[in-house]
């Protein structure tokens, strides 16, 4: 697994958290929620292949 | 490596500039409204004290104001002096139409300004003065609301620009 993905996810997490705070302080709770949701989706999109890889590994290890 | 860093910096700078532009837009709208208020006050004194005919009053306002308001009254004065077979309101609407894309005013401002044009040129002095007072009251109220909103929004747009740029760089890296 490429370690840079971890840093990318961390960066997205920090930036989305800051965006969330900025939008909440401006009284735009709805947009803040949407931004958080978009951040989660992007990160999920990045990690989905690793999750799939993990399940394949588990299947192989336990001979399922 | 260097081109990608340069690209990332350009992207951040571009997004930050966009954020700063949006942050400044409300300020531009307030400026336009204040300038229009100045024009109305000049028009009020032209009607009250000098009893200037409308084409001359509009030309005088165009000389003493700036930006888009100057252009609106300049065009209106020009259209009035062309002596077309149209009402003052129709000419006012034409003068506004030419400037709508250039100004930072919102739809509700244009509606109020266009509505104000209906009172131009045919009501008596007192009625015209009261129409001007109503318009000035609208501008005062709108400016106060915008000023309280704009501080919060300005900070938000600036932060959104910079953070949005950083987020895009991270997503595209």
Test A18 with B159 for CB contact under 8 angstroms. Answer: yes
| Chain B residues inside the 8 Å CB shell of A38 | none
Q: Which residues contact B161 (CB under 8 A, 6 or more apart)?
A: B15, B16, B17, B18, B19, B20, B22, B23
pTM of the model: 0.72
Distance between CA atoms of A22 and A7, rounded to whole angstroms?
A: 23
Test A15 with B167 for CB contact under 8 angstroms. Answer: yes
Please report whether residue B52 resides in a domain. yes
A22 shares contact with chain B (CB less than 8 Å)? yes
Across all residues in chain A, what is the average pLDDT?
91
Nearest neighbour of A19 by CB, restricted to B153, B163, B171: B163
Question: Looking at CA atoms only, how far is residue A55 from chain B in angstroms?
Answer: 26
Question: Looking at CA atoms only, how far is residue A61 from chain B in angstroms?
Answer: 34
Across all residues in chain B, what is the average pLDDT?
87
Please report whether residue B172 resides in a domain. no
Mean pLDDT of B44-58: 84
Helix (H, G, I), strand (E, B) or coil at A40: helix
Predicted confidence (pLDDT) per residue in B82-123, tens digit: 877 788 888 888 888 878 888 888 888 888 888 888 877 677
Site from A16, A22, A35, A44 to mutate, B interface, most B CB atoms within 10 angstroms: A22
Nearest neighbour of B170 by CB, restricted to A15, A18, A28: A15
Q: What sections of chain A are H helices per DSSP?
A: 4-25, 29-61
Q: What sections of B100-124 are H helices per DSSP?
A: 107-117
Distance between CA atoms of B96 and B19, rounded to whole angstroms?
A: 29
Predicted confidence (pLDDT) per residue in B61-76, tens digit: 989 898 889 999 998 8
Rg (CA), chain B: 21
Residue B37 has pLDDT above 90, yes or no: yes
- Predicted pLDDT at B2: 82
Cβ-count burial of B165 within 10 angstroms (0-12 exposed, 13-18 middle, 19+ buried)? buried
Cβ-count burial of A23 within 10 angstroms (0-12 exposed, 13-18 middle, 19+ buried)? buried
Q: Structural domain of residue B102, as residue ranges?
A: 31-153
Res. A42 pLDDT band, cuts 50 70 90: very high
Mean pLDDT of B5-23: 92
Rg (CA), chain A: 16
Domain spans of chain A? 4-61
Please report whether residue B91 resides in a domain. yes
Q: Among all chains, which residue has been given the structure tokens 């250039």?
A: B102
| Chain A residues inside the 8 Å CB shell of B156 | 22-23, 25-26, 28
Q: Are B146 and B26 in contact (CB under 8 A)?
A: yes
How many domains does chain B contain in total? 1
A8 shares contact with chain B (CB less than 8 Å)? yes
């Amino acid at each position: 697994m490429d370690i840079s993905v971890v840093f990318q996810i961390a960066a997205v997490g920090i930036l989305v958290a800051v965006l969330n705070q900025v939008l909440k302080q401006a009284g735009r709770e709805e947009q803040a929620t949407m931004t958080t949701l978009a951040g989660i989706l992007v990160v999920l999109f990045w990690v989905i292949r690793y999750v799939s890889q993990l399940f394949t590994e588990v299947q192989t290890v336990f001979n399922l | 490596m260097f081109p990608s860093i340069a690209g990332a910096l350009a992207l951040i700078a571009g997004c930050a500039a966009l954020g700063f532009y949006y942050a400044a837009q409300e300020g531009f709208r307030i400026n336009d409204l204040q300038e229009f208020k100045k024009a109305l006050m000049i028009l009020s004194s032209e009607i009250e004290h000098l009893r200037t005919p409308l084409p001359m009053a509009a030309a005088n306002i165009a000389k003493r104001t700036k930006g888009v308001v100057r252009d609106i009254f300049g065009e209106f004065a020009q259209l009035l002096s062309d002596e077309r077979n149209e009402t003052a309101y129709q000419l006012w609407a034409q003068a506004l139409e030419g400037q709508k894309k250039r100004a930072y005013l919102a739809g509700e401002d244009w509606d109020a300004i266009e509505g104000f044009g209906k009172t131009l040129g045919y009501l008596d002095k007192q009625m015209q003065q009261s129409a001007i007072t109503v318009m000035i009251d609208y501008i005062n109220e709108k400016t106060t609301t915008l000023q309280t909103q704009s501080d919060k929004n300005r900070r938000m747009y600036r932060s959104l620009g910079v953070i949005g740029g950083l987020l895009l760089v991270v997503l595209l890296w």
